[in-house]
Structure 1
Amino acid sequence: MKLRSEMPELVGEVAWLNGQVSKADLVGEKPTLIHFWSISCHLCKEAMPEVNNFRDKYKDELNVVAVHIPRSEKDLDLDEIKVIAENHGITQPIFVDSELKLTDVFENQYVPAYYVFDKDGKLRHFQAGGSGMKMLEKRVNRVLDEVRNA
């Protein structure tokens, strides 16, 4: 997905956990962080406390949505996804993308992966991998500042 691309519709899920959101819910008032993860991804689990910190620190200013993608057959077990999500404090909505439909729309090949959209739903930052959370926070703050200073 290219920078400045429009946020795609959030469709193709096999399930939503922790509530369901749509593109219409996310675009208009607040920027959005969409993060891709998998229960079999060690780096995802390591980074989750920082993602949860973003969610909590910016809860009034930033939408946060998780997208779970499978990397193996074991990753398709919805009950296991629920357990791991609970164990790692994931309370934000989780789009369960077991058929990789949303993953394909995003052209995403990585976990963890982070997509930062501005309040108008335009992609402003993408990064993959478990490190670089300071860079991610800078990019999140840049789009938050645009709203704060508007």
Structure 2
Amino acid sequence: MRVPTDTIAAPMFPAALRWLNVASLRMDQQRGRPVLLEFFDVCRPASLRTLPYLQAWHERYEADGLRVISVHAPGFAPGRDEAVVAAAVARLGIAHPVLLDTELQLWRIYENEGWPARYLFDRDLRLFEVHFGEGGYHETEAAIQELLGVERDPVAFLHPEDDPDARIVVPTPDQEGAWSGPYEAGAVWAVLEGTGTLRVNGADREVAWTGAHLLVDHGRHEHGVLEIEAGPGVTVHAVCFTPGLAAG
């Protein structure tokens, strides 16, 4: 969504916050280049589904002057552990700067309300475009290209439901804890902490790291029943459902 004014300045980064993949950055020192900042959480499926677009834009446009920054703002307890986040950043292959907003300081400055949320600032560090939640990828990339003065084919949609013309169905709301029961969704995820075994619909699967794990991928919107049981060493913080294409 384009911002109808060019008077909203980019907030400064709190000086005490820690960074991954880069020495400490200052927002005022980014003047002269567009900055794309996204709040994300390695424990939230929606953030993981959006992340590949951020990574692709970093790879495509860094040489043209774009600065991509992911701000890790935890929504689940494991995300407050910097070691968990650092391990996830390495596992996910995130090469651009990551700011650890463990106590949600920058989140509150932005008055942010959910994950993911991205803010694109122009070369004068004025807010140019915003988007909340998944989607809007071609719109954001078009805004990036406008600010950089380049023109290229956009990154292809990574999931069929990312296409704004796709017919999708709202999934079952996310559930706290080790929830089991009937649902409707395109895919089912669990936010897991620790290592051990998780039994999913009668089958055991090994849990080797803390974060969001894909349990079931239907490929399109389906009705299903989930039964999970966590073994020793594994904590289930939430079960999450992501949308799928409507049938027919």
* TM-score with structure 2 setting the length: 0.55
Of the three residues 49, 54, 70, the one matched with 2:52 is: 49
What's the offset of the Cα at 1:25? Answer: 2.2
Structure 2 residues not aligned, in runs of 5+: 151-248
Q: Which residue of 2 aligns with 1:96?
A: 100
Larger-gyration structure (1/2): 2
- Which structure has the highest strand share of the two? 2
Alpha-carbon separation, structure 2, partners of 1:6 and 1:84: 31
Report what 1:59 is aligned to.
62
Instruction: Provide the C-alpha distance between the structure 2 equivalents of 1:13 and 1:129, rounded to a whole number of angstroms.
Output: 28
SS at structure 2 position matched to 1:124: strand
Match of 1:36, SS state, is: strand
Deviations 1:34-53 (A, max 9, x none): 11100111011112111100
Query: Can you list the C-alpha shifts for 1:82-128, whole angstroms capped at 9, x where unaligned?
Result: 11111222111111111111111111112111100000000001101
Q: Distance in 2 between matches of 1:73 and 1:12?
A: 23
Residue 119 of structure 1 aligns to which amino acid in structure 2?
A: R
Q: 2:146 maps to what in 1?
A: 142
Pair 1:85-2:80 in alignment: no
Q: Secondary structure at the match of 1:59?
A: helix
d(CA) in 1 for partners of 2:15, 2:104? 8
1:112 equivalent to 2:112? Answer no
Task: Say which SS state the counterpart of residue 10 (structure 1) adopts.
Answer: coil
Give 1 or 2: higher helix fraction: 1
One-letter identity of the residue aligned with 1:41: R
Change over 3 Å in CA distance of 1:86–1:54 after alignment to 2: same
The one-letter amino acid paired with 2:95 is T
Q: What SS does the corresponding residue of 1:58 show, helix, strand or coil?
A: helix
Alignment-derived partner of residue 13 in structure 2: 10
1:31 to 18, 25, 34: 34
Look up the SS of the partner of 1:9 in the other structure: coil
**Among the aligned pairs, what percent are the same residue?**
24
Partner of residue 153, structure 2: none
Amino acid paired to 1:121: L
Q: Label 1:100 to 1:12 Cα distance change in 2 as closer, same or farther (>3 A).
A: farther
Count of residues paired in the alignment: 144
